[in-house]
Structure 1
Amino acid sequence: MTTPLSRLRRLTAAARRITEQNLHDRFALVGPVDEIKEPGDTIDAMLVRLERSFAANRRFAAKASHELRTPLALQRTSGNDRRRRPTQVQQVRSVRTGLARRDRRSRCRASAGRREPPSSSAPGRP
Structure 2
Amino acid sequence: MFEQMKMDMMQELDSLFVEGSPVKVNFLNVLTAIKENYDFIYALSQSCCSDFSKLVRSFTLHALDDTPHAKEHIISDFQVPYKYGLEIFIATIESVIVTWLESGAKEDPIEIGTIILSVCDFANWN
Q: Same fold (TM over 0.5)?
A: no
Greater relative CO, 1 or 2 (CA 8 Å, sep 6+) = 2
Task: Give the alignment's TM-score, normalised by structure 2.
Answer: 0.31
